[in-house]
Amino acid sequence: MERLALVTGGTRGLGKAIALALRDRGCRVVATCRGEGLEAQRMEEECGIPVEYWDVADFEACRAGVARIRERLGPVEILVNNAGITADAAFHKMSEAQWWDVLRTNLGSMYNVTRQVIEDMRERRYGRIVNISSINGRKGQAGQSNYAAAKAGILGFTRSLALENASRNITVNAVAPGYCDTAMVAAVRPDVLQSIVAGIPVGRLGEPGDVARLVAFLADEAAGFVTGATFDVNGGQYMA
Ligand code: NDP
């Protein structure tokens, strides 16, 4: 049977492109998001991808959500931890809520969701996990100390989980996208966005497909020797 993939935040932006790329490569895909909306409805009706609704910052909701999927479709074999938010502010003006909302959603979700699938993967000796980090977790970004901390944390999490599970044929990798054309980036002020694009050597924002094609490769059985790595997809904007 086709591999079962779970893509958090898979109803729009990068997550949607990832979900579609996995579907097109023959996976059975489930997408998640926070709340019902037009994007989620389209995902189900137009793309034929079922959507589950829960908050990735809430451990118990993740436990119940993954249990529902397991009961209906079986154990998750491919996990893409993609859901994420921003709540930008200069650190000296950042509220506690801005700090913890971003940490809980972007980093806490790594524990909350991955913990629900890892035991099945270990038992069945197969798994592909791809965690979506960010260029700003690699290089830092003024106004994003919360986001950069979470996205950098994902890289340490990825390497440690990769080491723990390599012998079980479970690979764990991180993808660090640069600025891509999604709602998250559309929220950036136009003049700021213009200066960001000017700093991207390929001269454009990334398309969701640019990220999705790499994630689909990492999620493939054929990528079994690739683990613990971080892949930059940023048009040359930052070369580590
Ligand atoms: P979008 O804002 O377009 O979509 C975010 C998705 O995540 C939505 O499906 C949203 O659900 C879901 N989501 C957010 N918070 C939660 C939550 N608490 N629980 C469940 N689902 C949640 O984001 P992008 O596609 O732009 O970004 C996707 C990932 O890529 C993020 O982790 C982001 O940090 C990262 N990234 C994006 C870059 C970019 O340029 N776009 C650059 C670098 C990294 P809902 O629709 O219900 O809100």
Rg (CA), the chain: 17
Residue ranges making up the domain that contains 176: 4-231
21-40 burial by CB neighbour count: b if 16+ within 10 A, else e?
bbbeeebbbbbbbbeeeebb
Q: How far is the CA of 16 from the centre of ligand 1 (A)?
A: 10
User: What's the rounded Cα separation, in Å, for the pair 106 and 47?
Assistant: 26
Is residue 78 helix, strand or coil?
strand
* Interval 203-233: pLDDT, tens: 999 999 999 999 999 999 999 999 999 999 9
Is 236 within a domain?
Answer: no
**Cα 109 to middle of ligand 1, angstroms:** 12
CA 220 to chain centre: 16
Asked if 160 contacts 171 with a C-beta cutoff of 8 angstroms, the reply is no
Is residue 238 included in any domain, yes or no?
Answer: no
Flag whether 136 is in a domain. yes
With both helix axes pointing from N to C terminus, report the angle between 59-73 and 109-124 in degrees, rounded to the nearest 10.
30
Query: Is residue 147 annotated as part of the catalytic site, yes or no?
Result: yes
- Tell me what the mean pLDDT of segment 7-21 comes to: 98
Closest CA to 231 of 155, 162, 128: 155
- Ligand 1 — pocket residues by CB below 6 A? 8-9, 11-15, 32-35, 37, 39, 55-57, 82-85, 105, 132, 134-135, 177, 179-180, 182-185
In a domain, 49, yes or no: yes
Instruction: Grade residue 35 by pLDDT with cuts at 50, 70 and 90.
Output: confident
139, 176 contact by CB (below 8 A): no
pLDDT in tens, 42-69: 999 999 999 999 999 999 999 999 999 9
β-pairing, 28-33 vs 51-53, is: parallel
Provide the pLDDT for residue 188: 87
CA gap 80, 92 in Å, rounded? 33
Q: Which of 6, 20, 33 to mutate to test the pocket of ligand 1 (most atoms within 8 A of CB)?
A: 33
Task: From the candidates 53, 147, 179, 238, give the one annotated as an active-site residue.
Answer: 147
For the entire predicted model, the pTM comes to: 0.98
Look at residue 223 and give its three-state secondary structure: helix
Distance 123 CA to ligand 1 centre (A): 30
pLDDT of residue 135: 98
Do the domain assignments include residue 239? no
Q: Whose CA is nearest to atom 8 of ligand 1?
A: 9
Domain containing 14 — which CATH number? 3.40.50.720
In the predicted model, what is the mean pLDDT of residues 74-102?
98
Q: Is residue 240 part of a domain?
A: no
Give the total number of structural domains in the chain. Answer: 1
Overall residue count recorded for the chain in this entry: 240
- Is the Cα dihedral 233, 138, 173, 149 positive or negative? negative
Asked if residue 237 is part of any domain, the answer here is no
Residue 17 pLDDT: 98
